[in-house]
Amino acid sequence: MHKTATTAKFSRSAETFDRLPDSALIDLNTLRTLMGGKHRNTIYNWVKRGVFPKPVPLEGMRNCWRVGEVRKALGIAG
């Protein structure tokens, strides 16, 4: 079976995520990939409702999430 670029990208992101320490930060694009391509508005809506962790604001308008908090929200042991 032929792997698409999206499938390969998802596999790499998921593999890297599993090896990251809980203190590591991931950006919105990586988070969206890990969550099956959920729209950014869906993720921010979950944040607003308190069902997903708040992002950590970095330089400019860039937001990132702590891996440990994402794992906890998704019910994944770290």
Percent of the chain past pLDDT 90, that is, above it, reads 49
CATH of the domain at 62: 1.10.1660
Q: How far apart are CA 71 and CA 23, in angstroms?
A: 11
Which residues span the domain enclosing 69? 5-74
pLDDT bin (cut points 50, 70, 90) of residue 50 is very high
Query: Would you say the pTM of this structure is higher than 0.85?
Result: no
What's the rounded mean pLDDT across residues 54-71? 92
What's the rounded mean pLDDT across residues 38-55? 96
Quote the number of domains for the chain: 1
Please give the residue that has the higher pLDDT: either 13 or 51.
51
Nearest of 73, 71, 69 to residue 56 by alpha carbon: 69
What's the rounded mean pLDDT across residues 42-70? 93
